Homo-oligomer: A and B are copies of this chain.
Amino acid sequence: MVRTPPRTQPARTRIEDLRRGELIAAAHRVFMQHGLGGMTTKRICEEAGMSPGILSYYFKGKDDVLFAMVRMNNRLLVEDVLVRLNQSATRWDRLLAVIEGNFPAAVYERNVATAWLSVVAASPGNPRYARLQSLFYARMRSNLASAFAGILPPVRFAGMARTITTLVDGFWLQKSAGEPVSRDEAVTLIVTTVAALLTPDERAALQSR
């Protein structure tokens, strides 16, 4: 008798998710083109073809949209790496997958780098971002561990992981600064450096099945 089938829920949710998705996508485009500072609510709604007030209806505020956007981008990157990891036979392939996963094709470009940098720079004042950041590093370390497990002792692995993550971050920063570095150059340089840091035995172990 008290049964109240929420038939309205699905419909309402569908349009709500749709609008939220559109706004996030619009925010992404504005972010890429104008940077963090130029990402205004008015511009986002305009880009989405909606009225300025709509943002408050679907989000708590501007920061909420921004966070949702960062979260979504992160999810896409993570999924990409996971797919590659599952397709990798050798540890070396896994290593390559993790490294290349940080430079997605057609994404390693100046605007994106600057946008991402802006978020990092804004992190210290925003606990949610800070948390997202450290999760990012932790996940990358974990992925790298799946390649080096049983080959490098813990201390050396820590150093190796630090070197790789630092190089990745550095390449993104340089991209933002306008340095002419291609995706391939970045990946190649990192791989070369990793190889140089390994002993011949370790290299062999990494490349075997």
Would you list which residues of chain A between 15 and 60 have a CB under 8 Å from chain B? 35-37
Q: Is A150 part of the binding interface, using a Cβ–Cβ cutoff of 8 Å? A: no
Q: Is A6 part of the binding interface, using a Cβ–Cβ cutoff of 8 Å? A: no
> What is the count of identical protomers in the complex?
2
Would you list which residues of chain A between 164 and 194 have a CB under 8 Å from chain B? 165-174, 176-179, 181, 185, 189, 192-193
Point out which of A124, A125, A159 has the most chain B C-beta atoms below 10 A from its C-beta: A124
How far is A111 from B189 in the complex, measured between Cα atoms in Å? 30
Q: Is the CB of A166 within 8 A of B176?
A: no
Given the complex, which residues of B lie within 8 Å of A189, measured CB to CB? Answer: 159, 162-163, 166
Which one of B35, B110, B134, B185 lies within 8 Å of A178 (CB-CB)? B134
Q: Is the CB of A179 within 8 A of B137?
A: yes
How far is A122 from B165 in the complex, measured between Cα atoms in Å? 23
Determine the main DSSP class of A at the interface with B.
Answer: helix
Q: Is A204 part of the binding interface, using a Cβ–Cβ cutoff of 8 Å? A: no
A: number of interface residues (CB 8 Å):
42
A–B complex contacts, Cβ < 8 Å, 14 sampled: A120-B177, A121-B176, A124-B176, A133-B177, A133-B178, A137-B179, A159-B192, A166-B166, A166-B174, A169-B177, A170-B173, A192-B197, A193-B193, A196-B197
How far is A162 from B177 in the complex, measured between Cα atoms in Å? 14
Given the complex, which residues of B lie within 8 Å of A185, measured CB to CB? Answer: 162
